[in-house]
Amino acid sequence: MNNFFKNIRCGISKIAFLSGCSVFILLMLFSIQSVAQQEHVVDQVVAVVGKNIVLESDIETQYLSYRMQSGISGSASQIRCVILEDIMYQKLMAAEAEVDSIEVSDIQVEAELDRRLGMFINQFGSQEKLEAYYDKTLVEIKQELYDIVKDQLVTQQVQGGIIEGITVTPSEIRSFFRSLPTDSIPLIKTEFVIAEIVKKPPVNVEEKIRVKEQLLEFRKRILKGESFATLAVLYSQDPGSAKDGGELGFYGRGQLYPEFEAVAFKLKDGEVSNVVETEAGYHIIQMIERKGDYVNVRHILLVPKVSPEDLVKARNELDSIAMLIRADSITFDQAVEKFSDADNKNSGGLLINPYTGSTTFEAEQLDAQVSFTIEKMEVGELSNPVPMKTEDQKDAYRLLLLKDKREPHRASLEQDYSKIQEWALQDKQRKVVDKWINDKARKTYIRIIDHYKDCAFTNEWNPR
């Protein structure tokens, strides 16, 4: 396969930062951490890049992860060489970040962690399944991934400055595609374009009152001497913290729901709040400890549930909307605008692929329920109401419209211009990054131990 496509795949390459593969790599890195910690590695400094060092254990941890990936070819020594070069590249970027005073805030890291973990939860089907698979709470997962994500964000910022303003012209796109050997033109998998009409049944007032009263009863019991932590383990509906007695760990300002944070930062040690409402549901909060602008609190979360009657009502309403669309009494786009409760109603109800930012999905990128429904449909067909979970994990229903289905094929300018444009841009960006690395490496102190000096590096590291 053409070297460029080796570089942009989700594998061991710095271009993964440009190609959107870092989420997959991050998951693989995390999945192997506990294994890596169990294997004995005689640690040593393998390389020095400016003021930063690369340890043998850094390479081995990633090697164990990549070894689990399908489609990774090459000998053990070759893979380790590629990993070493990737790490040196990140160290070079870290040094540049110091020079340019580039910093990543805790809020940025937390937001990116939440985004990526949200994708992982969707892949597993629920937060509980993710935690069960790794035998860790969501809080523990976030803690272990924090430094990895922070380093990636710093690297991305530096790299973003290097490739800023780079574009490709139509002639460059055509030239790039024509330069690919015929047998290296990638196969495009089956892709789907899907739109939706969502009905989110509201939580009725009686249910909200029931939840608030239950939390107030918990508060009374705690004030009379019962353990907040024990009640959190027994009753809290936040699986990420319930196992830890509701403890969240230290968070700074701007990292929690605004309503939650406003109350949490005013509490005194041991004090228990009244009921607090956020997007997640209803909480009571207990202060554990405060350090400056950071607080560590416990909470009990209860989430009001949509009643079965209201769910049936939402499903019946979608049934009626589907009948109108099928009878040509209203177009799908008109129905989206008029009836949908989703945020994408202003874009025709199109689903956005969180992995690529585009409106096309491969089958494995779809929610399991959506994939099961769509596979049976023809282009232009409208589904019956399909159950779903909203972003805040509430029950709802939606209609799905299969707008387009593209069968597997070799990439062509006629069918896949936007993809080829992206590949051409990534190739041009990669060349600019490579030039930056080579120029920067010549001005930076770099030392590599003899064991790795025979590596066939992509870039000119010029080790001392």
Per-residue pLDDT tens over the stretch 307-350: 999 999 999 999 999 999 999 999 999 999 999 999 999 999 99
Q: Which residue has the higher pLDDT, 195 or 419?
A: 195
Where residue 61 falls among pLDDT bands split at 50, 70, 90? confident
The tokens describing 4, both together, are: 């460029």
Residue 245: name the closest of 137, 146, 118 by CA.
137
Q: Which residue has the higher pLDDT, 104 or 126?
A: 104
* d(C-alpha 44, C-alpha 354), whole Å: 39
The tokens describing 226, both together, are: 């019962």
**CB 46, CB 55: distance < 8 Å:** yes
pLDDT at 17: 39
Strand partners, 47: 54, 448
pLDDT at 330: 96
Mean pLDDT of 20-45: 49
Where residue 197 falls among pLDDT bands split at 50, 70, 90? very high
The tokens describing 197, both together, are: 């009409």
Mean pLDDT of 122-147: 77
Q: What does pLDDT average to over the chain?
A: 84
* d(C-alpha 40, C-alpha 67), whole Å: 17
Q: Give the 3-state secondary structure of residue 30.
A: helix
Q: Give the 3-state secondary structure of residue 81.
A: helix
Q: Which domains does the chain have, with CATH numbers?
A: 3-186+412-452 (1.10.4030.10), 190-202+307-407 (3.10.50.40), 206-302 (3.10.50.40)
**CB 283, CB 300: distance < 8 Å:** yes
Q: Which residue has the higher pLDDT, 145 or 336?
A: 336
Q: Give the 3-state secondary structure of residue 348.
A: coil
* d(C-alpha 415, C-alpha 52), whole Å: 46
* d(C-alpha 440, C-alpha 436), whole Å: 6
Where residue 271 falls among pLDDT bands split at 50, 70, 90? very high
Ranking 8-12, 62-66, 153-157 by mean pLDDT, the lowest is: 8-12
pLDDT at 1: 40
pLDDT at 317: 96
DSSP E strand stretches across 5-86? 45-49, 52-55
* d(C-alpha 66, C-alpha 82), whole Å: 11
Q: Residue 13 above 50 pLDDT?
A: no
The tokens describing 35, both together, are: 């294994």
Q: Give the 3-state secondary structure of residue 47.
A: strand
Q: Residue 23 above 90 pLDDT?
A: no
The tokens describing 338, both together, are: 């008029």
The tokens describing 65, both together, are: 């992860």
Q: Residue 449 above 70 pLDDT?
A: yes
* d(C-alpha 405, C-alpha 378), whole Å: 8
Highest mean pLDDT among 67-76, 79-88, 381-390: 381-390
The tokens describing 66, both together, are: 């990549």
Q: Residue 9 above 60 pLDDT?
A: no
Label residue 324 exposed, middle or buried (CB < 10 Å: 0-12, 13-18, 19+).
middle
Q: Which residue has the higher pLDDT, 441 or 325?
A: 325
**CB 56, CB 44: distance < 8 Å:** yes
Mean pLDDT of 438-448: 89
Mean pLDDT of 369-389: 93
Ranking 16-20, 59-63, 178-182 by mean pLDDT, the lowest is: 16-20
Mean pLDDT of 235-245: 86
